């Protein structure tokens, strides 16, 4: 409990920092191989012309995914966790500091950015328990993982603001029901937005892009209202 309390304190500090910059932060979480990096690639291709985006990329070892994302012309800060199976708020604080320093070296301000994606370490349990300062949590579940995962690993799905059911192009080859996955998730979280997607065929991606746009817009409006309120106080 002390560990989680300390992490929450750090997450709140990260969120305050992001709010000062006017940046929305989305935390992407899933088991390994669910498609986080490929989804990010498609998202960067579509949205980087209208939103200024950066990525904090978490992996236990290597910068393979970070290098893939750098090819899309956005700032990417890589964090290797070693033996840790998730990012925590302290790690992300270090990533934000590195991002800030890199922008200042280029005579740019972090406040020029609209959105930071945090791609968490592939794990279906630990990332959901450790906030990093995000404004929303995005969980991914691939069809290949089966219908029962939300019930077997409930914390991730209970905490998610948006759930992407990925690899829907494989549906004809699997004995898996998207409707059953959704019903299982709804037992845990009635408010979550569920979007079936395929990064390969493009199915559902426009709905996902719209959700990202709306989330950034809503967070921007919230930050502006808070600033006005502060000035009037």
Token pair of 17 as six digits = 């920092």
Low-confidence ranges of the chain (pLDDT < 50): none
Question: Does 16 reside within a domain?
Answer: yes
Q: Check residue 76 and give its pLDDT.
A: 98
98, part of any domain: yes
Contact between residue 56 and residue 63 where contact means Cβ atoms under 8 Å apart: no
Query: For residue 26, what is the enclosing H or E element?
Result: strand 24-29
10, part of any domain: yes
Position of tokens 């990096």? 37
Q: What CATH code is carried by the domain that includes residue 18? A: 3.40.50.300
The per-residue DSSP string of 147-160 comes to SSHHHHSHHHHHH-
Please count the structural domains in the chain.
1
Query: 157 forms bridges with which residues in the sheet?
Result: none
The single-letter DSSP state of residue 206 is H
Cβ count within 10 A of residue 52: 16
The closest alpha carbon to 31, from 151, 188, 145, 164, belongs to 145
Distance of CA 22 to the CA centre of its chain: 17
Q: Has residue 178 been placed in a domain?
A: yes
With respect to residue 231, please indicate whether it lies within any of the assigned structural domains: no
Q: Which tens digits make up the pLDDT trace of 42-86?
A: 999 999 999 999 999 999 999 999 999 999 999 999 999 998 999
Strands (E), 115-227: 115-119, 136-142, 162-166, 193-196
53: domain range?
2-224
Query: pTM to 2 decimals?
Result: 0.95
In a domain, 24, yes or no: yes
pLDDT of residue 226: 79
């Amino acid at each position: 409990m002390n560990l989680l309390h300390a992490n929450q304190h750090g997450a709140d500090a990260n969120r305050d920092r992001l709010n000062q910059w006017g940046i929305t932060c989305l935390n992407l979480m899933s088991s390994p191989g669910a498609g986080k990096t490929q989804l990010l690639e498609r998202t960067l291709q579509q949205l980087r012309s209208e939103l200024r985006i950066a990525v904090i990329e978490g992996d236990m070892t290597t910068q393979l995914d970070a290098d893939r994302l750098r090819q899309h012309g956005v700032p990417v800060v890589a964090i290797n966790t070693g033996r840790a199976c998730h990012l925590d708020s302290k790690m992300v604080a270090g990533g934000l500091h590195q991002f800030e320093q890199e922008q200042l070296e280029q005579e740019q301000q972090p406040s020029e950015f609209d959105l930071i994606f945090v791609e968490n370490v592939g794990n279906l349990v630990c990332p959901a328990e450790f906030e990093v300062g995000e404004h929303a949590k995005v969980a991914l579940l691939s069809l290949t993982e089966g219908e029962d995962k939300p019930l077997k690993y409930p914390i991730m799905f209970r905490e998610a603001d948006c759930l992407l059911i990925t690899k829907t192009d494989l549906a004809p080859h699997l004995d898996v029901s998207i409707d059953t996955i959704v019903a299982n998730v709804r037992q845990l979280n009635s408010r979550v937005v569920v979007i079936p997607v395929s990064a390969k065929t493009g199915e559902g991606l426009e709905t996902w892009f719209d959700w990202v746009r709306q989330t950034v817009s809503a967070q921007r409006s919230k930050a502006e209202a808070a600033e006005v309120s502060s000035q009037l106080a």
